[in-house]
Amino acid sequence: MATINRYTTSTGQKRYRVLYVDETGRRTQKRGFTTKAVADQWMSDTVSEISKGTYIKASAGKTTVGELWDDWYARKSGIKASTRRRYEIAWRIHAGPVWAKRQIGTIRPSEVADWVSTMTTAGKGATTIEHAHLVLRGVLEDAVKDRLIPSNPAADPGNLPRKAKRSRVYLSHAEVQAIAEAAEGQWSALVYLACYTGLRWGEMAGLRVRHLDLLRKRINVEANAVEVGSKIVEGTPKSHERRSVPVPNFLVELLARQCEGKGHDDLVFTGPRTGKFIVRPKNERSWFAKAMAAAGVKRDLSPHDLRHTAASLAVSAGANVKVVQRMLGHASAAMTLDTYADLFDDDLEAVSAALDAQRLQQLSVKVRQ
């Protein structure tokens, strides 16, 4: 229920006010209308918006992005530590300095697009810009849900740079063996493990003796140890999906030797100096770079890229897309196909050949009849 009353200001001017019940059920008023018609229109629009649940107070837009950031970030406590750290860095370095003090109701979509363009012009990478925009968009999306602003000005700036797709490198069996033999020790077993099971680096780093079921030739992927800043944090695998991965015969023996003298909860691979989690090799002085050079394998790839070789070798051995999906821990077969469509070209040719053969067979039977 809303009503309109006329009142006189301290200076003797005639004004109108609307008495109404706001979205919280509290009686309140809006003053200062110069004519009853204007007051009536505002009352009609506001009462309608309140009844539809779309009413937004003008004062809500004065909230700053920085005031909302803390709560938004706090609500991300359940996500992986590495992802949460990326959000914190994106805010602290890129989004916060620009938007922290801005009132959310004053931000225009064109300003967000200009911000993205500025970062692009400054040479920021596509991933860096993506994370910075994701943080701003997320904070403002919560503001929309809380009815602080009617729409998200950062929803789609339209000029986010595309990530350049890096060509995948697929090693042959011979190249894998050459790198593994050059690596020696536990690193040799690790190269074979990456190339024949598709485990991610963090999954190999977090692998413990209890995760190995060598009698069944299986690895139960249940942990992931990733670098978060200067620390290594142990958690669940990517997307929190545990899985069982098959192990080739020759690798069973290598892993068994790697576990000799270790307890049930001990790490399979440990840092040579620390005895704790292994750290991803990052430069030309690392064991991985030296093994690549010694093996004479001149390919542009990182330890993570060995996963691609696992997919390639599995497909060439006859594995179908569902098997590869499960082995790599992808969310769906569609994701596997999107990632490794080039590996299944032979399958497409096989389908067309099978269709030709089936057609000729059925036509032949029909002619004989």
**pLDDT for residue 348 is more than 60:** no
Say if residue 194 is in the same domain as residue 340. yes
Residue 118 domain-assigned (yes or no): yes
- CB-count burial class (<10 Å; 0-12, 13-18, 19+) for 171: buried
Residue 120 domain-assigned (yes or no): yes
pLDDT at 166: 73
What CA–CA distance (Å, rounded) separates 266 from 258?
11
Q: Which of 18-27, 95-104, 321-330 has the lowest mean pLDDT?
A: 18-27
pLDDT at 337: 82
Q: Hey, which of 184-188, 224-228, 341-345 has the most confident mean pLDDT?
A: 184-188
Residue 156 domain-assigned (yes or no): no
pLDDT at 365: 65
Say if residue 246 is in the same domain as residue 266. yes
Say if residue 207 is in the same domain as residue 292. yes
Say which residue, 227 or 206, is predicted with more confidence. Answer: 206
Domain boundary among 129, 145, 161: 145
Say if residue 322 is in the same domain as residue 179. yes
**pLDDT for residue 50 is more than 80:** no
Rounded to an integer, the average pLDDT of 334-345 is 81
Residue 257 domain-assigned (yes or no): yes
Residue 166 domain-assigned (yes or no): no
C-alpha closest to that of 180 among 245, 254, 280, 271: 254
Residue 357 domain-assigned (yes or no): no
Phi-psi bin for 147: left (phi > 0), alpha (psi -120 to 50), beta? left
Exposure string over 262-299, b if 16+ CB within 10 A, otherwise e: eeeeebbbeeeeeeebbebbeeeeebbeebbeebebee
**pLDDT single digits (tens) 138-169:** 999 999 888 888 889 999 999 999 887 777 88
Say which residue, 272 or 361, is predicted with more confidence. Answer: 272
Residue 122 domain-assigned (yes or no): yes
Q: Determine the longest span between alpha carbons in the chain, in angstroms.
A: 107
Helices 126-145 and 109-121: crossing angle, nearest 10°? 160
Phi-psi bin for 244: left (phi > 0), alpha (psi -120 to 50), beta? beta
**pLDDT for residue 226 is more than 90:** no
The CATH number assigned to the domain holding 89 equals 1.10.150.130
pLDDT at 86: 92
The CATH number assigned to the domain holding 209 equals 1.10.443.10
Say if residue 206 is in the same domain as residue 337. yes
**pLDDT single digits (tens) 180-195:** 999 988 999 999 999 9
Percent of residues, the chain, with pLDDT higher than 90: 49
Phi-psi bin for 299: left (phi > 0), alpha (psi -120 to 50), beta? beta
Say if residue 88 is in the same domain as residue 210. no
Say which residue, 104 or 78, is predicted with more confidence. Answer: 104
> pLDDT averaged over the chain?
87
Say if residue 79 is in the same domain as residue 102. yes
**pLDDT for residue 296 is more than 80:** yes
Say if residue 181 is in the same domain as residue 122. no
Please answer whether residues 269 and 258 qualify as being in contact, where contact means their C-beta atoms are separated by less than 8 angstroms: yes
**pLDDT for residue 227 is more than 90:** no
Say if residue 35 is in the same domain as residue 177. no
The total of structural domains in the chain comes to: 3
* Predicted model pTM: 0.68
Residue 366 domain-assigned (yes or no): no
C-alpha closest to that of 20 among 60, 70, 57: 57
**pLDDT for residue 292 is more than 60:** yes
What CA–CA distance (Å, rounded) separates 134 from 116?
11
Phi-psi bin for 182: left (phi > 0), alpha (psi -120 to 50), beta? alpha
Tokens standing for 135?
């943080």
Rounded to an integer, the average pLDDT of 211-222 is 93
Please answer whether residues 328 and 310 qualify as being in contact, where contact means their C-beta atoms are separated by less than 8 angstroms: yes
Rounded to an integer, the average pLDDT of 130-143 is 95
Q: Which residue has the tokens 């142990």?
A: 234
Say if residue 233 is in the same domain as residue 319. yes
Domain boundary among 55, 77, 99: 55
pLDDT at 308: 92
Say if residue 208 is in the same domain as residue 78. no
Say if residue 274 is in the same domain as residue 323. yes
pLDDT at 228: 81
The pairs formed by 240-246 with CB atoms below 8 angstroms and a separation of 24 or more are 241/329, 241/331, 243/326, 243/327, 243/329, 244/218, 244/219, 244/220, 245/197, 245/198, 245/199, 245/218, 245/219, 245/221, 245/326, 245/327, 246/197, 246/217, 246/218, 246/327
Task: Determine the residue type at 53.
Answer: G
What CA–CA distance (Å, rounded) separates 125 from 293?
29
Structural domain range at position 110: 62-145
